[in-house]
Structure 1
Amino acid sequence: MIINQNKKFIPELNQDIEIVTLQNRKHTQVTITNYGGIIMSIKTPDRRGNFAEIALGFDEVEDYLTKEYQNNCPYFGAAIGRYANRIKGGLFSIDDKEYTLNCNNGPNSLHGGPKGFHQKVWDMETFKEPKRTGVILRLQSDDMEEGFPGLLNVKLTYTLTFDNELVIDYEAETTKKTVVNLTNHSYFNLSNMQTPVLKHQMVLYADRFTPKDENDIPTGEIVSVNDSPLDFLLPRYIGDRISDVDGRGYDHNFVINGFPGDLNLGARIIDESTGRSLEFYTTEPGFQVYTGNYLDGSFKRDDVAFTENYGICFEAQKFPDSPNQTHFPSPVLSPGEKYKQTTLYKFGLTE
């Protein structure tokens, strides 16, 4: 059911912003705003029945609009587009025509550029059915916005089910040949926000990954995770080998086991202290695992500072820099085609 729906005038945007809270029969709550398509909050019970926050973010929309947040944006809970992850040099070609993107991550374009979908105000409507409830968000992205060709019509459907699943369905259509790669950037922490995620147990259903260079661009290889810090084929703590990873933690694209297009299980995490579990499913060929490596405590909620490794993201995606790496799954969308993909998060408890 929809337990709360309101509009709030935001002076910085000079318009009303909508905020909706969904709740299912298990009392799981999900709060979504049409600013940036952001999942602001997810509350689930622990093994003792105590409800607490499991997603990083803010209670007020205004906090996503501060200069500090915008200049050091961690994309808490945001809808990401037009192209999730990085495109090398902000350049790519379609049919021998080169396109130049607005860069915002050193020499690269990241998450659609400086004014990506995470900063857009989407049209929102709600729906309620016997066993599920949710919101539908729509956005029209102009031709050549941030450098991407084609007018792109995007539809996101966020659904909270009676089976304690949060489902995100993505659809998009274009007027010109373009590249599309959409995702959600929610950070999860199952510990009642008491500790970083280093003591969460994790399994990744991915036996390969795409190595990257010093600018986080794939080298073009697809290699096995065996005998590396990225091997989570069997359960182990996220922090066990995190210091062995180049950089400050995990920020890697994994190649999911299974057939792209099927809804495949990609990851499972468990927090033993609370009994909470989370499963991540996707129809995409890959997913980025990111452990909040650059969180520094600047952002907080309820006096809990989000420090390094305080959350983990599972970002369903085509591979980074796919427009420039033709042996990767193609992100090209042509007129008359429909981009479709699904992400599912299943919330649970362990014994």
Structure 2
Amino acid sequence: MEIKHISHILDGSAIKSFGLLSDNEEILSLELKNKNGMKAQIINYGATLTSLQIPVATGGYVDVVLGFDTLESYLASYHLPSAPYFGTTVGRYAGRIDKGVFTLNDTTFQLNTNNNGNALHGGNVGFGQKVWNITHITSGDNPSVTLSLWSADLEEYYPGDLQVDLTYTLTEENELKLDYTATSTKDTVINLTHHSYFNLDGHAADLSNQTLFIASEKILETNAEHIPTGNFTALLDHDFDFRTAKKCPQSIDNSFVIASENEVAAILSSTTNKLQMKVFTNQPSVHIYVGGNCFETLKGKENATYHPFSGICFETQNFPDAPNHVHFPNSVLKKGETYRHKTVYRFENIN
């Protein structure tokens, strides 16, 4: 089913208006809730996760993702000196592509550039700024919502009509599962990711009382513009070796190479709320970014002031600039094939 311009209860899932765009198109907010009381709120602007409330052992709930209370603030955030992409679905290509150029099937494509002459997170108007259709909802155990987006051939100068479907599922094991699929009418490149900023002490706190574990022995080497050189940096004796958990860094913007989808890729832990989040994915890397700065221009949810140490992103994805490095994992989606990406954020109480 395609759901537009409605405000009611459907199968126990609350759908309400989140505001109007300049052309009066209504943006909808939908809430998923499991039997433990965990709640996820998602809007169809950018297929964005706006709130994720987790029950904690210390009592009550904590909202663990940064976001805004109004659609107007999400729209305005893309005009900040550095757009935060709070909770959005990033595409067609997450991360940077060098000079916005890649060659596919002997044809060179020049993408729109939006970051120091490079293409970042899909270009000038990426998937986080698109209105997605709510196409399917389930309730009861493991409630879910599927959102769909059609991206036209040569939008942002990427080849092929691309059909993307994203299903958010809230499991009874307190997991938020993201399942992406995509098909294209032409060979193209693709790299989708989720861009929530997590903070287990609450979206208005900082990360100072949280620790980070990443199951990675190397990161991508990058130049001054954060473009991969094609080389790797070993993490032995490196500040970013998080194979033994340690405090969250105050500044990081790096892609960590991870091995197996069956093993945990990363863990964020809070001693304050006795809560941890485990990250699982079938993608070859997790890009870690600490930030959230709104430059004292926009207020976050509940009038929070976000700053550069407000939250941490776990952007599970392919390598940035993979189309330009033959030894990087394949980023080409061929006509007739299906792109599949799975990521799970699992929340657990700890002693």
Shared fold, TM over 0.5: yes
Note if 1:211 corresponds to 2:221: yes
Q: Secondary structure at the match of 1:66?
A: helix
Partner of 2:150: 140
1:245 alignment counterpart: none
Partners of 2:138 and 2:268 in 1: CA distance: 30
Q: In structure 1, list runs of 5 or more residues that go unmatched.
A: 243-248
* Deviation sequence 1:282-325 (CA, Å, 0-9, x none): 10001100011755443322122111111000001110100101
- The 5-angstrom pairing of residues 1-351 of structure 1 reads 2-66=12-76, 69=79, 72-193=82-203, 195-239=205-249, 242=250, 249-258=251-260, 262-292=261-291, 294-299=293-298, 300-351=300-351
TM-aligned CA distance change 1:105 to 1:189, over 3 Å: same
The one-letter code sitting in structure 2 at the alignment partner of 1:72 is S
The Cα shift of 1:130 comes to 4.3
Q: Aligned-pair distance for 1:229?
A: 1.1
Offset at residue 67 of structure 1 (A): 6.4
* Displaced runs of 4 or more, over 3 A: 67-72, 293-299
CA contact (8 A) 1:84 1:110 kept: yes
TM-score by length of 1: 0.92
Contact 2:12 2:139 in 1 (8 A): no
Matching residue of 1:246: none
- Looking at structure 2, the residues matched to 219 and 150 of structure 1 have their Cα atoms a distance apart, in angstroms, of 28
CA separation of 1:65 and 1:194: change in aligned 2, threshold 3 A: closer
Displacement after TM superposition at 1:187 (Å): 0.4
How far 1:73 sits from its partner (Å)? 1.5
How many Å apart are 1:61 and its aligned residue? 1.8
TM-score, normalising length: structure 2: 0.92
- Give the secondary-structure state (helix, strand or coil) at the position aligned to 2:221: coil
1:21 deviates by 0.8
Deviation, 1:129, is: 4.9
- SS of equivalent to 1:343: strand
Instruction: Work out the CA distance in 1 between the residues paired with 2:81 and 2:295.
Output: 14
Provide the rounded CA distance (Å) in 2 between the counterparts of 1:13 and 1:71: 25
Gaps of 5+ in 2: 1-10
What does the per-residue CA deviation read over 1:71-99, in whole Å, with 9 as the maximum and x for residues that have no partner? 63100000000000000000000022100
Q: Using the alignment, how far apart are the partners of 1:11 and 1:78 within structure 2? A: 17
Amino acid of the structure 1 residue aligned with 2:128: H
CA contact (8 A) 1:192 1:274 kept: no
- In structure 1, give the amino acid aligned to 2:73: D
Change (3 A) 1:143 1:269: same
SS in structure 1 opposite 2:238? coil
Q: Deviations over 1:200-249 (max 9, x none)?
A: 1111011111011000001111232111111000111113xx5xxxxxx1
Distance 1:176 1:229, change over 3 A: same
Tell me the SS of whatever aligns to 2:231: coil
Q: Residue 263 of structure 1: CA displacement?
A: 4.1
**Tell me, what secondary structure is at the counterpart of 1:265?**
coil
* Contact 2:316–2:343 (8 Å) recurs in 1: yes
Cα gap change, 1:209/1:342 in structure 2, threshold over 3 Å: closer, same or farther?
A: same
For residue 197 of structure 2, what is the amino acid of its counterpart?
A: Y
- Aligned to 2:291, the other structure's residue is in SS state coil
Q: Give the CA RMSD over aligned residues.
A: 1.7
- For residue 41 of structure 1, give the secondary structure of its aligned residue in structure 2: strand
- Contact 1:2–1:22 under 8 Å retained in 2: no
Looking at structure 1, the residues matched to 24 and 147 of structure 2 have their Cα atoms a distance apart, in angstroms, of: 20
The one-letter code matched in structure 2 to 1:255 is V
Matched residues in 1 for 2:217 and 2:143: separation?
35
- Please state how far the C-alpha of 1:105 moved relative to its aligned partner: 0.6
State the Cα distance separating 1:134 from its structure 2 match: 1.2
The farther-off stretch of 126-135 and 339-348 is 126-135
